[in-house]
Amino acid sequence: MRFRSRGRGKPVNAERLYVFNETRQCFLSLNVSVAGTHFSRLRGLLGRMKMSRDDGLWVMPSRSIHTIGIRFPIDVVYLDARNRVIHLIEHFRPFRIAPIRMHAKSVLELPTRTISASGTRIGDFLLICAPEEMENLWNRRDRGPAQGGRAAAG
């Protein structure tokens, strides 16, 4: 699946994505799948009996979701084009239609209690990327400016 992660501008191919809350400095999920085609968005979570703690589905593009045919509640995170959280629904029950948010560009479907456990709030920025990209970002942060190839001031 090809997509562009927030602020990086590089296309990424990935089967599994990480979701990291940059504002709160915590992970929401380590195993998110992308529903980026008409068929995958239509199918969504149908057929699953439950979601594991680190599972998730990133529905894009999307302004809303439904849980018709889903057998378990989920947490729902609406994101704008910059992956900023614009709406949250905790413990969204089965057989419901979520509200449409016109400014939403994508929606994350996560296991219940993910929002409260991570402390995610409206206005937070999420980084959604492949594990390799996350590792590269952490390595760059650990090296710091002096070790990252830039001359140290002095």
pLDDT in tens, 29-88: 999 999 888 767 767 777 677 788 889 999 999 999 999 889 999 999 999 999 999 999
DSSP bridge partners of 65: none
Please report where in the chains the tokens 């594991």 appear, as a residue: 52
Is 0.85 surpassed by the pTM of this model?
Answer: no
**What class, spelled out in words, does domain 2-144 have in CATH?**
mainly beta
Structure tokens at 75: 């947490």
Structure tokens at 99: 């509200």
- Residue 138: pLDDT band (50, 70, 90) is confident
- Residue 2: pLDDT band (50, 70, 90) is very low
Q: How many CB atoms lie within 10 A of CB 122?
A: 11
pLDDT in tens, 87-125: 999 999 999 999 999 999 999 999 999 999 999 999 999
pLDDT of res. 149: 44
Domain ranges of the chain: 2-144
Strands in the chain per DSSP E: 2-4, 11-13, 17-21, 26-35, 55-59, 74-79, 85-92, 106-111, 126-129
